[in-house]
Structure 1
Amino acid sequence: MRRPQHATTAAIAGVVALAATLGTTVVTAPAASADAPAPGCPPRGEDLTEYCGELAGARYRVLVPDDWNGTLVLFSHGHYPSEFFGDFPAPHLLGNQELSEGTLTDHGYAVAGSLFQGDGLDFTVPTAVADQSRVLDWFEEHVGEPERTITYGQSMGAVTAVKHAEAEPDRIDGVLTVGGVLDWVGQFDAILDMNAATRALLTDGTDAHGDPIELVDPDDPVASRDALVAALTQAQETPEGRARIALVASLNTVTGWYWMNEERPRTLEDRARAQAQWLIGAYTLSLGPTGRAGLEETLGGNPSRTGLDHLRARLARSGAAGEVAAAYARAGLDLRADLAALEAVEPIEADPGARAAMVEHRPEGTTPSPVLTLHTTGDGGAPPSGERSFAHRVRQVGHPERFRSLYVERGAHLSVSLGEELVALRALERRLDTGRWPSLAPRALNRAADALGPDYRATFEVVTLQTFDHAPAFTRFVPPPAPRPSW
């Protein structure tokens, strides 16, 4: 079943159709002064009060149901590249999808969140914890002291949710993430690897003007971005190009499952075409040369470094070795020659100061709060391999009992249903109530989600910007390890 979206969603659909790392879209209320506890927002009905305002230059929203259960869910949205939004406002979500805030308040939760500095666009991570802390201060002063506060991060907002719990452990009781990036330092290293491999294997190294394609500190980031997009677009039309796309995708364990409403692609060609969409939409348009230029401006230099060495071992760890070898054999290409070509690429080094600034905002796995992550198995925009590497990090610091991961068998980024989202939140609360994790067996989780009823099957797809019905699909899954962990 397809569900209608707000007019704002329809208006920006053509702009962000390929932006797989985006969150979802919501019509936001006008901002009001934060100096007074008055709602400052349009009336929401008799059962709910909405507060809107601005704190230190960042807008915030708060929803409090009349039957508030004492739990505050403090939500951090994902990455919103300014190049996709233009004159459209960034969506100010208070849950994983537009419908989530209503689901949570219907069940008694108060929800709140900052839009972050810069109207929520581009790289908000360095200021996001402070922005959320100010929202929590405001809530405690004007609404009341929560009995429990859970930070909840979506996509790159997961960095903020976990880091906030580490920064203020006495204020945060638990952490939930969906489609989360947990090691943003290592993720951007891997993205740089993919951009470098795309340039080396699919282009002659120059853009449309004959100038070098520059991946860091670019003079013309748009031209470099467009050259990489053109190369990926053309490559997916030939067996040789698709084989190389599969190899590039393996460098960050990028899946071949782009569309939420389709079954996992079964053929080499279909998987490579889907990987090309991830590489274009998530890693070239939004986080390639143009996005990296913004990151470098935020951090004062390039924070990432390439690591194109020992690629045969890395390919084996990615879980895609058989698929890549089969694609190369079908195309009649020499895989060893291409691996050698990549290993010969001149390394890109990070600016030490910029990397240190990025590491400063990286979660370290030290929060005393329990952390529960929720991820689709087919997510190529924020590969679930990050969960496995974060679990290893939590074990390193000595508290493995504090971390658990849940997986949903579905393609696309952030494509979990309202029911799956609510069941995950309740599982985390059970851990907080009892000190022990409840059963996280997929069958039990699916029964719990199914019992909520058909309205809770609503699942938003960030590619089409439409909402569809999906049956609960929790599953057992062990992702490959992240290729470039930075801990």
Structure 2
Amino acid sequence: MHIRPTALLALAALACQLGAANAQVPAAPQPRACPADVPADAICHAGEDGLGGFYWMALPANWKPETGVLVMHAHGGPTDTGPATLKRGEEDLKRWAVTVKAGHAWAGSTYRRGGFGVTMAAEDTERVRRIFVKHFGPPRRTILHGQSYGAAVAAKGAELYAMVDGPNGPVKGPYDGVLLTSGMLGGGTRAYDFRIDLRVVYQYFCKNHPKADEPQYPLWQGLPMNARLTRAELATRVDECTGVRKPAAQRSEQQKANLANIVGVIRIPERSLIAHLNWSTWLFRDLTQLRLGNRNPFTNANVRYTGSSDDAALNAGVLRYTADPAAFAELANDSDPVGKINMPVLTLHAVNDPTAFVELESAYRDVVERAGNGQRLVQTFSDESEHSYLSDPQYPALFTALLNWIDRKDKPTPQTVAALCKGYEAAYGDTCKLLPDYRSAPLANRVPPR
């Protein structure tokens, strides 16, 4: 029998109820060999959180809770939509070994499952923090660090746990500051608009996702649940239409025209086209069908697309969809920040990020300022064209700036962060690429408003 999911919120509530009934006591952290790249004298542990998620923890040599800093990491994605794996957490720790090198303890959750669920992931991150405190003691300071999609998780977590229940009423929550890097900010109701745009614009030009002889479906679904299309097969279709995996000289004239039109309208680099189509296929399938009861939270009904060789024909022929208001509201409640922060928040974003547009920083800034908390937000930017990881010395500079803000009330500026970064170049073997005078443009400059 097929049971139709009713709503993201209902599923989250049910998951909490089932978790409370079925969760085992979280496994105590067990010693594990640290992954490569983590300092050799660090001590690592791993375990299972009792809800199906896994975690890794790394403590620098001589780390003590009474003087130490804990960085709780919320990872990016969601690239996988299946069960959680311990290996995912190991990969995160390897990527963020710079945190341990900077002298801070690191802990991260894999989340209890793959797929979409910002509030769920924030809860899982907090659950791992509590496990850390239980076994290693309460640290002097706790920083919540979110990367990419994890920045949305951390932004939500900062609001969910801004205040917590104390013995005599609400008290300030466990996080002293927040670091958001390469953030997919602005919430699910805004951050993914360009991906529904990509699906409809791609289909207009390529007409092979789905093909004419395949079952047709509304593109906001991502992909039917019973479809057997693989990522490799999709990449082949994209290459057939656009030649994106070939050198430019080997593309046909039609492929060149198709590729130029798609990236011109969606404003993404060629190298990220297949990745974005993957997200707007398998992540959309997870989000709309498994989390939102097969309802559409996206609209492009009145969007005016520009940047093609014939905008009039494109706008006349592109598929149009209107959001289900309840699905939109549930996605907003799960993932959209509202700006109710009571702690310092520092961000870093590459100005040419190919995955999360830098203009998403403006969307988050607008939310925080509307909530009256603009003084608690400082944003920094770098002259880079990457997403998953930026120049090494920038991260210890951000940690130092954030801790100075927390401990000394010394609010940083982009200029002071850039100056701090220079001091870390020799130790971290890379150059700082910060742009102290940069300010992100409005999101509407990059993604057509709706």
TM range (shorter): 0.7 to 0.9
> Taking structure 1 as reference, are residues 375 and 128 closer, same or farther at Cα in structure 2, changes over 3 Å only?
same
Question: Equivalences for 1:395-406 in 2 at 5 Å?
Answer: 395-406=369-380
Gap runs ≥5 in structure 2: 1-24, 163-172, 244-250
Give the Å deviation of 1:232: 5.9
Give the Å deviation of 1:212: 3.0
Q: What is the distance in 2 between the residues matched to 1:166 and 1:233? A: 45
1:55 aligns with 2:49: yes
Q: Deviations over 1:367-386 (max 9, x none)?
A: 11221111111112111110
Q: Which moved more, 1:121-130 or 1:360-369?
A: 121-130
Amino acid at match of 1:230: R
Instruction: Tell me, yes or no, if the aligned pair for 2:404 and 2:410 is still in contact at 8 Å.
Output: yes
Give the Å deviation of 1:89: 3.8
Q: What is the distance in 2 between the residues matched to 1:86 and 1:234? A: 34
Q: What is the distance in 1 between the residues matched to 2:208 and 2:137? A: 61
Instruction: Tell me, yes or no, if the aligned pair for 2:54 and 2:86 is still in contact at 8 Å.
Output: no
1:349 aligns with 2:349: no
TM-score (norm 2): 0.76
Aligned equivalent of 1:90: 88
SS at match of 2:277: coil
> Taking structure 1 as reference, are residues 214 and 340 closer, same or farther at Cα in structure 2, changes over 3 Å only?
closer
Give the Å deviation of 1:416: 0.7
Q: What is the distance in 2 between the residues matched to 1:86 and 1:114? A: 10
Give the Å deviation of 1:52: 1.6
Q: Which moved more, 1:141-150 or 1:44-53?
A: 44-53
Aligned equivalent of 2:168: none
Give the Å deviation of 1:91: 4.5
Instruction: Tell me, yes or no, if the aligned pair for 1:176 and 1:373 is still in contact at 8 Å.
Output: yes
SS at match of 1:372: strand
TM-score (norm 1): 0.71
The Cα RMSD (Å) is 3.5
Give the Å deviation of 1:94: 5.1
Name the structure, 1 or 2, with higher relative contact order (CA <8 Å, separation 6+).
1
Give the Å deviation of 1:142: 1.7
Q: Deviations over 1:223-268 (max 9, x none)?
A: 49756862465335356655654554466553xxxxxxxxxxxxxx
Aligned equivalent of 2:421: 449
Identity %, equivalent residues: 23
Give the Å deviation of 1:107: 3.2
Question: Equivalences for 1:76-475 in 2 at 5 Å?
Answer: 76-82=74-80, 89-93=87-91, 98=94, 100-101=96-97, 103-118=98-113, 121-169=114-162, 170-182=173-185, 183-203=187-207, 206-207=210-211, 209-212=213-216, 214-217=218-221, 218-219=223-224, 221-223=227-229, 226=233, 230-231=237-238, 234-236=241-243, 237=251, 242=256, 245-246=259-260, 248-249=262-263, 253-254=267-268, 275-281=269-275, 283-285=276-278, 287-296=279-288, 297-307=290-300, 309-311=302-304, 324=307, 333=309, 335-341=310-316, 345-362=318-335, 363-441=337-415, 445-454=417-426, 456-457=428-429, 470-475=430-435
> Taking structure 1 as reference, are residues 310 and 116 closer, same or farther at Cα in structure 2, changes over 3 Å only?
closer
SS at match of 2:77: coil
Q: Deviations over 1:270-325 (max 9, x none)?
A: xxxxx2321212x112x12233112221333344323253526xx5xxxxxxxx4x
Give the Å deviation of 1:64: 2.3
Amino acid at match of 1:292: F
SS at match of 1:113: strand
Give the Å deviation of 1:390: 0.9
Instruction: Tell me, yes or no, if the aligned pair for 1:198 and 1:248 is still in contact at 8 Å.
Output: yes
Amino acid at match of 1:175: V
SS at match of 2:383: strand
Instruction: Tell me, yes or no, if the aligned pair for 1:156 and 1:180 is still in contact at 8 Å.
Output: yes
Give the Å deviation of 1:203: 2.3
Q: What is the distance in 1 between the residues matched to 2:86 and 2:126? A: 27
SS at match of 2:153: helix
> Taking structure 1 as reference, are residues 189 and 471 closer, same or farther at Cα in structure 2, changes over 3 Å only?
same
Q: Which moved more, 1:178-187 or 1:124-133?
A: 124-133
Q: Which moved more, 1:348-357 or 1:365-374?
A: 348-357
Gap runs ≥5 in structure 1: 1-32, 255-274, 316-323, 458-469
> Taking structure 1 as reference, are residues 111 and 428 closer, same or farther at Cα in structure 2, changes over 3 Å only?
same
Q: What is the distance in 2 between the residues matched to 1:298 and 1:336? A: 34
Between the two proteins, the alignment pairs up a number of residues equal to 394
